[in-house]
Chains A and B, each alone.
Chain A
Amino acid sequence: MSNYIKFACGCEFKYEQGQNKKLISFDADYDNINENCSATYRLISEGDTKGCFQIETGLGKKMCREAPIQSIDDIANIIAIMRPACTNSFMDDGKSLAQHYIDRRKGIEEVTYINEAVKPYLKRTYGILAYQEDVMFIAKDLAGFTPGEADDLRSAGAKKRADLMAQIKPKFINGCAKVGKVNEHDAKLIWDWIEAGQRYLFNASHSYGYAKLTYVTAYLKAHFQKEFFAGWLENSHLKQQNRQYEILSLTNNMKINNVAEISSPSILRMNQYFKLSKDTIYFGFSDIKGVGESAFNKMVTRYNTVKELIGEADKWSYMDNLILFMSHLSSASIEPCIKVGVFSSISSNRTKMLFDYKIYEHLTDKEKDWCTANYHKSENLLSLLLDLRTHFKFRGKNRILKIDDLINSLQNPPEKLEDNITIISDDEQALLGMTITCSQIDSCDISMANSTCRDLINKENAKDKNIMLAAEISKVSEFTIKNGKNAGQKMGALEVKDSDCCLDGILVFGKTWKDNRHVLVENNTVMLMMKKSYKNDSFTVEKVWQI
């Protein structure tokens, strides 16, 4: 049955509904996409661009927030000017080319043109020479260049060929004289301006191609957030570099926007990669460190075997899981699964499950076969081993003593078989790249805190000063201040997280940095007293406590 879903921005999509009104697919019609969607431009302008092509970096977000984004032209321009060549090109007034563009786009700076003759070509970039194609248009219009000659000029500049530029210069000057739209003096000015610009110009066809893709990704994110994140995560296994960091950033963005919950992989799903189910995105089994494709395939095979015997995993008991499933697979893949909570639907106590699994692994194959045939009468592993001890025909006395040892360990375990917040969060961090069930901060006294990371990102309960944040430090970077009265001093930048999400842009200066360096280390839990810096949307730490 075809339906249409309409959003407040006016965009409409045809989609197919399955049973229980579950969204199966939708047709975004990329070729005829609405390029004037207010929701999309609002998303980009707010800097909520994580996952959007080309503009998801910190610089991209910052520029999107600063410069009004209301068209594909605006997106293309931002993509062109956010490159280092433009951000590091400073004009005589000390302002970068990129900042000039932003200020002109915002209306803070007057839009001027080096010459009125170039205005038709630079109107879209507010007088800033940003595109190689604009150089070609100018050369054709003012100097009468043929398309081929104009392309030679473009190519010489792009390849930084000073020798070729020197050859083309007299052609340009003479051409301008012939065409007569600008005098010789202005022609030389324009040429010098073009020559200086060659070091930072970008290819407009690339920029607009990227911009279209940027718009489409933002468009999808604006309308189908859950599916957008799920799609990104489901295909994240194809990404080679910085994959863990990207997953962490994306899931953080999801949490901040209340898009969906993120969950550990589950025996109830048996999904190899990330998968969206209702309002939850589940990690895949192959996302667990130590569980590769081969191990996952073996798990699926065993799962299907057990499913034929006793049904789906939601019907398995603790002993079904231990005897029929886990014990038939390699400990190298099962132990990480236990640690991240794959079997939490069967038992929430991972420590006990791991202990029982390791005890069971001490049994011989014949003993395990006996257990498989007889475990139905036993409530737990201890009663099963007691049963085994009584009824199984052991080969020798030594083996009986070994079983006695295992029974003794179950009756008097050497450690407390209860889950510990620190261990769970460390294991999830190590095996999944992020904490899901709990975080280190959950085991600390955070009664002094008056804000969370989410509050500070969403600017809820906004405070300017005396912000008290309890957090775990995830990353510490040290810098040397280059300018100003504190030039030469060290400062720190922190990324922190609490049980909800992550926050960056936390700065520590001067004496506070020096005196607390021993506490401001990765994986440490601290209470930070901060004040907000409106200059650059960051926070400055005033005091630090170990918690």
Chain B
Amino acid sequence: METIARNGEKAVNPQQAEPIQIAVRMMHPRKLDFVEGGTFHSYIKPPYKRDELHMETVQWHAKNAGKKVDEVLDLWYNAPEQKVVWSQFIDFINKYHGPIKKGKFSAPVLSGHNIISYDNVIFSRLCTRYKYCDANDEQNVVLLNKSVDTLHLLNPWFENNPELDSLSLDKLRPYLGLESKGSHDAFKDVNDCGIIMRRFLRYHRALAENKGYFKNSFSGELCE
């Protein structure tokens, strides 16, 4: 998601941020290939008036998009309102449960960069706002605790790597050889995240398939 906030609030705070762009790509959970036709992309009209927006954030978005502030604002304010897009987004997610539909237990898994501490919080808020929730007002669309956060996925691989002082996508892209142009566009970001996640999940699975490596491998270990 790309987000905006009001004056006096911060878009980096997931409790205050409101989405202005949402992009999704579906990935097959076993094959780890992008699903053909499985994309969702929409701009979202901010729930505030133009003059209420946090201007620095608007300027930042305009700079990333290579557009003028007014062009960016026109793009957002000509987009559908949040409620309409959110219902379409939830409908899109719900198409991918597979043949056995068991509510959030069979729902697709949310994946993204720093998703657990940011996007998931916004997701939960908006699901509650638009009543995609249970009797306790908790979202019941997906199982959030199954989310795959590429930030967490990469940390063990790069924590001792002195060439990377940060695992933000802005730093990762040039290091991994991904194109940086167009970054901070939700669709570009989600594509890059998907590519990164696919590679590292395949590494994990290749190790995990060698079951003999782990079975009983802890016997004899002493707890100090």
Contacts and interface: CB of A to CB of B under 8 A. Distances in A.
B35 interface: yes
A203 interface: no
Contacts of B205: 518
Nearest to B99: A429
Interface in A492-547: 514-515, 518-519, 521, 523-524, 546
Contacts of B30: 519, 521, 524, 546
A422 B35 contact: yes
A430 B100 contact: yes
B89 interface: yes
Given A409-B88, A518-B209, A415 B99 contact: no
B206 to A, nearest CB: 11
A377 interface: no
A420 B38 contact: yes
Contacts of A412: 42
A260 B211 CA distance: 47
Given A402-B81, A405-B81, A423 B39 contact: no
A329 B36 CA distance: 32
Q: Chain B: interface secondary structure?
A: mixed
Given A408-B78, A414-B42, A423 B96 contact: yes
Contacts of B87: 358
B84 interface: yes
Contacts of A408: 78-80
B91 A523 contact: no
Nearest to A474: B99
Contacts of A426: 97-99
Contact of A523 (B42, B95, B99): B99
Interface in B67-120: 78-81, 84-85, 87-89, 91-92, 95-101
Interface in A381-422: 401-402, 405-406, 408-409, 412, 414-416, 418, 420, 422
Contacts of B36: 420, 443
Q: Bin the interface of chain A by size.
A: 20 to 34
A406 B80 CA distance: 7
B92 A430 contact: no
Nearest to A408: B80
8 contacts: A358-B88, A362-B84, A405-B80, A405-B81, A415-B92, A423-B96, A518-B205, A546-B31
A419 to B, nearest CB: 8
Interface of A: 358, 362, 401-402, 405-406, 408-409, 412, 414-416, 418, 420, 422-423, 425-426, 429-430, 443, 514-515, 518-519, 521, 523-524, 546
A414 B92 CA distance: 9
The 8 residue pairs across chains A and B that have the minimum distance between CB atoms: A429-B99, A414-B42, A405-B80, A426-B99, A416-B37, A415-B40, A405-B84, A420-B37
B81 A415 contact: no
B41 to A, nearest CB: 6
B89 A414 contact: yes
B88 A414 contact: yes
Given A405-B84, A408-B78, A546-B30, A418 B97 contact: no
Contact of A423 (B95, B100, B101, B209): B95
Contacts of B31: 546
Contact of A420 (B35, B42, B81, B97): B35
Given A422-B35, A426-B99, A523-B99, 6 more contacts: A401-B81, A409-B84, A409-B88, A414-B40, A414-B41, A518-B208
